[in-house]
């Protein structure tokens, strides 16, 4: 019997157990590969429609050889890898032109091909192109035109720029450093701190030391005692910082024109403000520099960062925009405040989650997080991260659990409901972080959702609960400063909507004044909005045409195109819109009169009074 039983167990093992283990192994391997190679949506801004599809290597090579045959004379080919744009003294391309930049990835021989493939493996971007570009290459100034007119205070706090890297490409790292030195006022840069997080590539050894010694004097290179991961490496770097503000950058960035002053200015006014630039996109394959749209940071209940759209009307603003979260890689913060607020969670490993953690913490503990539209920094967005965690841990998961447990109160349940793995995953000791939250007397997560991120919906109650709350908030929180009609002095007419008071996009026109008419009843809020019948807001319609019209739009509550600032002019007022940098005026069109904007000047068509 015993014998028989053992055999039947063995048979069962053969028929079911072994194949089962085999397939389970394949399945785990598949997921491992998926995880380490997964596309990285976290810091990738909303994609442009024009984005070219990724071509595989063979297809690219075919294309290149076709191009070579059609465009290049044999003499040019023999010249080798010389780019065809303006070059620096070392022969690397310096000027910027999309077409020329796109040409830089051209493979001329086997060696190029090998180098490129190696580069992709090590860095997940086209190192060959990076190496062919000047370390001082020019990039397009992607700022809104109005940014260029802003004059920043001459006295601003000094910055320690902290750049952590693990196995970075030599030229990408140095271009980051050079771009900072080339495009920042030198008196604002206290130092640049490079933190080498246990890199193993040879080019980051002696070669880097020598380059730094020979070329820089404000650059310090620190080496972490062992691999810390980006979170602890940043803390490590910040502990050495001597400037007044710490500015974190990834090691594959290029800062744009006048990027630093707009980040420092709001911090100088209020040190509780943490500022984030718009992160432009450096294409990982071509290094073409593309502007990013103005978007805000949000998150989903899996605790993944996401970009949330902002109302189109705010797209052209130059004013800071409050954002519920940040992407993580690039931001500026008063150094003392960074430490006071608990730096980062040192219990977090390698990568992930730290951006939501610091965002929640900033808001919940009394700070403010703002995107600065006039500060732009390019970042190479890769399709995958080329490194892994030393112990094979899912650090994103571990770190996210810490975020949920420390900051999200009862809302953490939503995260755990979506992540069955998270329920059992080990997340270490969080008692220090809980104590920090107590010590700083931080607000609840409910407070954060209600006040900072009312647009967020809950998984089980998609729309209603939070929208309801938001509507209530809209009615109750807006402080009305005054209400009445807005009279245009020159014509004696009043501003009113062309349609019903609830009709979005309706033009604002000038019509004979009528007391008590709802269409002419404007509420001015303490945020400088003009709400009609306390519902929709006066907005500017920045279209393609020269003539800019004003229209009714859903109130955004963001500073921007819905801000109308009354400036006294003896007998009456000019009404200035900071987004377009122009003043409200009367325009005639097809026999009628409507409200537009024009360059502020001494013209009676720009004079208004608010009749309460």
Where does this chain bind ligand UDP (CB under 6 A)? Answer: 40, 42-43, 164-166, 168, 197, 227, 229-230, 233, 250-251, 329, 350-351, 382, 385, 387
| Residue 139 binding result from ligand UDP, Mn ion, none, given CB thresholds of 5 to 8 Å by partner type | none
Between vectors from CA 181 to CA 180 and to CA 183, what angle results, nearest 5°? Answer: 65
For every residue of 89-126, DSSP letters joined together read TTS-B-S--HHHHHHTT---SHHHHHHHHHHHHHHSS-
Residue 539 binds: one of Mn ion, ligand UDP, none (C-beta under 5 to 8 A by kind): none
The nearest distance, CB 390 to ligand UDP, in angstroms, is 9
Write phi, then psi, for 511 (nearest 5 degrees).
-140, 160
Closer residue to Mn ion (CB): 264 or 327 = 327
Q: Considering the rule CB under 5 A, would residue 197 count as an interface residue with Mn ion?
A: no
Beta-strand runs (E) in 460-589:
480-488, 494-497, 508-511, 522-525, 530-532, 536-541, 548-553, 565-569, 572-577, 582-589
Q: Identify which of residues 250 and 345 has a Cβ nearer to Mn ion in the complex.
A: 250
Q: How far is the CB of 387 from ligand UDP (least distance, A)?
A: 6
Least distance from C-beta 125 to ligand UDP, angstroms? 10
Question: Of 229 and 291, which CB lies nearer to ligand UDP in the complex structure?
Answer: 229
Q: Does 250 help bind Mn ion (rule: CB under 5 A)?
A: yes
Q: Is 164 or 607 the residue whose CB approaches ligand UDP more closely? A: 164
- Judged by CB under 5 A, the stretch of 79-87, 112-120, 245-253, 581-589 that binds Mn ion is 245-253
Q: What's the closest the beta carbon of residue 180 comes to Mn ion, in angstroms?
A: 16
The residue (of 348 and 350) whose beta carbon lies closer to ligand UDP is 350
Residue span binding Mn ion (CB under 5 A) among the ranges 168-176, 177-185, 225-233, 248-256: 248-256
- 419 sits in which H/E element: none
Contact (Cβ atoms closer than 8 angstroms) between residue 572 and residue 489: yes
Min separation Cβ 297 and ligand UDP, Å: 13
Binding of residue 254 to Mn ion (CB under 5 A)? no
Q: Which is nearer to ligand UDP, 129 or 164 (CB)?
A: 164
- Nearer to ligand UDP by Cβ, of 250 and 587: the residue is 250
**Contacted by 170, from ligand UDP, Mn ion, none: CB < 5 to 8 Å by type:** none
CB of 79 to ligand UDP, least distance (A): 35
Q: How far is the CB of 39 from ligand UDP (least distance, A)?
A: 10
Buried b (16+ CB within 10 A) or exposed e, 352-368: bbbbbbbbbbbbbbebb
Min separation Cβ 264 and Mn ion, Å = 22
Categorise residue 56: left if φ over 0, alpha if ψ from -120 to 50, beta otherwise: beta
Q: Token pair for residue 298?
A: 């949000």
- The CA distance from 449 to 511, in Å, is 42
Of residues 271 and 381, the one with the C-beta less far from Mn ion = 381
Largest CA distance in the chain: 110
Q: Is 573 left (phi over 0), alpha (psi -120 to 50) or beta?
A: beta
Question: Please, which residue, 344 or 387, has the CB nearer to ligand UDP?
Answer: 387
Q: Do the beta carbons of residue 395 and residue 232 sit within 8 Å?
A: no
Q: Which residue is nearest to Mn ion (CB)?
A: 250
404 binds, among Mn ion, ligand UDP, none (CB under 5 to 8 A by kind): none
By a kind-dependent CB cut-off of 5 to 8 A, residue 254 interacts, out of Mn ion, ligand UDP, none, with none
Q: Please, what is the Cα angle at 238 between 234 and 244, to 5 degrees?
A: 140
Residue 280 interacts with Mn ion (CB under 5 A): yes or no: no
Q: What is the signed CA dihedral for 176, 179, 183, 186, rounded to 10 degrees?
A: 70
- Sequence-distant contacts of 387-395: CB under 8 A, at least 24 apart: 387/166, 387/167, 388/36, 389/229, 389/349, 389/350, 389/351, 390/227, 390/350, 393/349, 393/350, 394/35, 394/421, 394/425, 395/229, 395/348, 395/349, 395/350, 395/351, 395/352, 395/353
Please check whether residue 473 is in contact with residue 450, taking contact to mean a CB–CB distance below 8 angstroms.
yes
- CA–CA separation, 53 and 310 (whole Å): 26
Minimum separation from the CB atom of position 256 to Mn ion (A): 16
Q: Is 196 in the site for Mn ion (CB under 5 A)?
A: no
Name the binder of 524 from ligand UDP, Mn ion, none, CB < 5-8 A by kind.
none
Shortest distance, position 327 Cβ to ligand UDP, whole Å:
8
Q: Which stretch binds Mn ion (CB under 5 A): 12-20, 113-121, 244-252, 567-575?
A: 244-252
Could you say which of ligand UDP, Mn ion, none residue 310 binds, taking C-beta under 5 to 8 angstroms by partner kind? none
Q: Which residues bind Mn ion (CB under 5 A)?
A: 250
């Amino acid at each position: 019997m015993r014998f028989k039983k053992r055999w039947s167990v063995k048979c069962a093992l053969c028929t079911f157990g072994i194949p089962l283990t085999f397939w389970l192994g394949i399945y785990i391997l598949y997921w491992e590969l998926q995880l380490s190679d997964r596309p990285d949506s976290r810091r990738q801004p909303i994609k442009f429609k024009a984005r070219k599809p990724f071509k595989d290597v063979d297809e690219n090579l075919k294309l290149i050889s076709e191009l070579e045959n059609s465009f290049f004379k044999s003499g040019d080919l023999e010249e080798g890898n010389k780019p065809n744009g303006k070059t620096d003294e070392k022969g690397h391309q310096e000027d910027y032109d999309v077409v020329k930049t796109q040409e830089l990835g051209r493979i001329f021989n086997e060696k190029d091909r090998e180098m490129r493939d190696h580069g992709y493996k090590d860095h997940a971007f086209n190192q060959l192109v990076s190496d062919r570009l000047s370390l001082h290459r020019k990039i397009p100034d992607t700022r809104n035109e109005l940014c260029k007119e802003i004059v920043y205070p001459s006295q601003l706090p000094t910055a320690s720029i902290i750049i952590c890297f693990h196995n970075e490409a030599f030229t990408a790292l140095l271009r980051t450093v050079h771009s900072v030195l080339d495009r920042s006022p030198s008196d604002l840069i206290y130092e640049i701190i490079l933190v080498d997080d246990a890199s193993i590539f040879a080019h980051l050894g002696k070669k880097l030391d020598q380059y730094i010694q020979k070329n820089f004097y404000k650059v310090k290179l620190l080496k972490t005692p062992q691999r810390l991961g980006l979170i602890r490496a940043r803390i490590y770097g910040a502990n050495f910082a001597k400037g007044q503000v710490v500015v974190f950058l990834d090691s594959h960035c290029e800062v744009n024109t006048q990027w630093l002053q707009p980040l420092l200015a709001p911090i100088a006014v209020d040190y509780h403000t943490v500022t984030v630039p718009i992160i432009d996109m450096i294409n990982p394959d071509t290094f073409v520099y593309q502007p990013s749209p103005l978007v805000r940071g949000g998150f989903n209940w899996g605790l993944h960062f996401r970009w949330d759209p902002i109302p189109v009307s705010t797209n052209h603003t130059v004013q800071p925009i409050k954002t519920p979260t940040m992407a993580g890689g690039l931001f500026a913060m008063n150094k003392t405040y960074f430490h006071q607020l608990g730096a980062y969670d040192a219990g977090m490993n390698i990568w992930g989650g730290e951006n939501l953690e610091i965002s929640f913490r900033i808001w919940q503990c009394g700070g403010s997080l703002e995107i600065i539209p006039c500060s732009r920094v390019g970042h190479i967005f890769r399709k995958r991260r080329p490194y892994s965690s030393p112990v094979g841990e899912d650090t994103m998961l571990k770190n996210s659990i810490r975020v949920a447990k420390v900051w999200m109160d009862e809302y953490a349940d939503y995260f755990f409901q979506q992540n069955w793995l998270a329920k059992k995953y080990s997340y270490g000791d969080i008692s220090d972080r809980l104590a920090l939250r107590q010590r700083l007397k931080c607000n609840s997560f409910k407070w954060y959702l209600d006040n900072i991120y009312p647009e967020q919906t809950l998984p089980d109650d998609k729309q209603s609960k939070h929208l309801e709350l938001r509507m209530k908030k809209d009615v109750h929180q807006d402080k009305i400063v005054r209400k009445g009609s807005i009279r245009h002095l020159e014509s004696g007419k009043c501003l009113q909507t062309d349609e019903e008071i609830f009709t979005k996009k309706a033009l604002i026109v000038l019509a004979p004044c009528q007391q008590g008419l709802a269409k002419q009843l404007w509420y001015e809020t303490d945020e400088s909005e003009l709400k009609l019948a306390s519902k929709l807001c006066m907005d500017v319609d920045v279209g393609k045409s020269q003539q800019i019209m004003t229209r009714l739009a859903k109130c955004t509550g963001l500073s921007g195109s819905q801000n109308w600032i009354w400036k006294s002019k003896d007998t009456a007022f000019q009404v200035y819109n900071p987004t377009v940098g122009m003043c409200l005026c009367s325009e005639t069109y097809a026999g009628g009169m409507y409200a537009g904007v024009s360059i502020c000047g001494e013209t009676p068509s720009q004079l208004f009074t608010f009749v309460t």
